Structure 1
């Protein structure tokens, strides 16, 4: 085994961290945190609950980002001490531990570096993810539920806050659609590379003849926008329906007409919410998502017009972005980046970091 050049490795890690902190602008980040802490300490802050939640959310996100940088700096210092101990005592066990820690730090820096590649207008925002079953009947509904489980497990590994807003269950198995909110720094910038059509190939557990089935599910990711960024919506453009929430288990939400469906008539956009206990809460959540979708639609239309004027009408994202093959072999492959994994079950259990990070780097290159 080649001897590790600890001074060179440590110098490289410190240089990488320095480049990352230059992009993040740690001093500006500290100043923002100080300002947000002052706002959070204002005794009148909660007079405006929406603003209070916004301030506390921003403070939590930015403090977590600063903590992540500081933690990596401390780990590099500790690794240097460990390497010096190994050299002084000629201890192979400590040396091996130092080598492992250097590798772990390198991976953490690569993950943090991904943040520096997210400079889109809404990348820092929380995300709202909607999954819809597509072609493939029962298998597609089952696949949509598999994708929901995959993303929830992935977010859980990262200790990100996730709240399921609405789920429409299919009659036999799986789900027709689900919408959930992900609250974390750069949640939208991170998850937006998952938007598109996903394909599953497997032996159908719902086919008595055991035939291979191909099914599809669509993933939509939009940024959750703050109130100051929302757009005016004419109440006359809305059709609002209330109904009894549905789902397994007989939850308390099923006992009243608390679920809300809002249809924006000019665009045909439909948003349903049913996971809150009150109609007022579900309506507020639905309006927040509707506003985000309408503003994003407006931005997309403006971008499309600019591309058309420039003579570039090529879409930057294909319809089908990823294939999950469970038969006759196991493989998950991203069709944009060519990143692939042979353990499909591990990916479906939430091991998505490699796909998402390669997607972000691919997007930056595009």
Structure 2
């Protein structure tokens, strides 16, 4: 085996051992065994919410163990692949070495991705994520852009097998959406997607401009951790006003015959949330309260962070502003303005291929604010 290849495999082994140590593979196996026993209990589903927490944690833990065990197996197989390649001659040897090199490059990517996951150790990182997307400056193009962003995140979640629950979609008159709120339900969704928060900028030839002029549009992405019962976010009934109205789809279509959509206004702060995608008024109110509680939790976190900053605990609190440009014309590029990470295939990015941006964002945030 070439010395450079041997050195690279040794480096991969060191990184993977660090990942295995942080994940604590033995403890992970013990936790999976414990959760499997809980999941096998027929009385578990008497408490639906607890049952879903157990099955979700079990699925996540099994996935993590499967991923890290697969990485270890692939790394152990690589020296054998190189030995077999070197036993070949001529073109067969060249082809076998090229295949081993390709496997090694792919393993590098996957080990680095797993290493990034181990950096998610924030207080709320393991929570589900609540994502709000709002169209900004740019008129109908911005509304269309907001809908493109929503599709990008939903496609990303689908590619990973994560469940998405849409709480509210406010459609614009001509095309696109004014805003949307949806949850991505998988452990560590918040820690993963929190680096997507900020202003996303699109430059393209407007499909809505009959003169074919270039248009710059903006949309805002907000990512919040889903509230759990341990958060103590109390919202007295006297602090809210609940309004009900009829749900509507794009262009006024699919109008419900009952007032099932719900708008909740939090009187002390002026925060307004809506939900219209559930079948009943009660379900919409429950979903809207989840969104309100998440916003109040985030407000509380920001106040605590501001107080810490005043005491000198510091950190960069402004990292979530304008953060990524998507250029479709006059050239093709998506570039993160914080990390300098860029891709020359906007079509793939807008179809959900955003893991590279997320991973570089997590590394950037850890370097900028290790606390």
TM-score, normalised via structure 1 length: 0.92
User: Displacement of 1:58 after TM fit?
Assistant: 1.3
1:138 partnered with 2:140:
yes
Q: Counterpart of 1:21?
A: 20
1:294 partnered with 2:296:
yes
Separation in 2 of the partners of 1:81 and 1:338?
A: 37
Kindly report which structure 2 residues correspond to 1:113-262, keeping only aligned pairs within 5 A, or say none.
Answer: 113-248=115-250, 254-262=256-264
User: Displacement of 1:114 after TM fit?
Assistant: 0.6
- On the 8 A contact 1:253/1:275 being kept in 2, the answer is no
Look up the SS of the partner of 1:142 in the other structure: helix
Look up the SS of the partner of 2:323 in the other structure: strand
Look up the SS of the partner of 2:178 in the other structure: strand
User: Displacement of 1:327 after TM fit?
Assistant: 2.4
User: Displacement of 1:156 after TM fit?
Assistant: 2.1
Q: 1:249 to 1:161 in 2, by over 3 A?
A: farther
Separation in 1 of the partners of 2:337 and 2:357?
A: 11
Q: Which deviates more, 246-255 or 301-310?
A: 246-255
Separation in 2 of the partners of 1:81 and 1:150?
A: 40
- On the 8 A contact 1:252/1:277 being kept in 2, the answer is no
1:57 partnered with 2:59:
no
Q: Counterpart of 2:42?
A: 43
Q: Which deviates more, 236-245 or 169-178?
A: 236-245
Q: Counterpart of 2:272?
A: 270
Separation in 2 of the partners of 1:219 and 1:239?
A: 26
Separation in 2 of the partners of 1:199 and 1:109?
A: 31
Look up the SS of the partner of 1:94 in the other structure: helix
Look up the SS of the partner of 1:87 in the other structure: helix
1:331 partnered with 2:330:
no
- On the 8 A contact 1:257/1:279 being kept in 2, the answer is yes
- On the 8 A contact 1:4/1:99 being kept in 2, the answer is no
- On the 8 A contact 1:165/1:181 being kept in 2, the answer is yes
Offset from partner CA, 1:215-265 (integer Å, 9 cap, x none):
211000011132233421101111112222211499988343222222211
User: Displacement of 1:17 after TM fit?
Assistant: 0.9
TM-score, normalised via structure 2 length: 0.91
Q: 1:96 to 1:256 in 2, by over 3 A?
A: same
Separation in 2 of the partners of 1:133 and 1:302?
A: 29
User: Displacement of 1:313 after TM fit?
Assistant: 8.7
Offset from partner CA, 1:21-58 (integer Å, 9 cap, x none):
11122222222222222322233222221111111111
Q: Which deviates more, 320-329 or 133-142?
A: 320-329
Q: Counterpart of 2:80?
A: 81
Unaligned runs of 5+ in 1: none
Look up the SS of the partner of 1:21 in the other structure: helix
Equivalenced residues, count: 365
Separation in 2 of the partners of 1:7 and 1:312?
A: 43
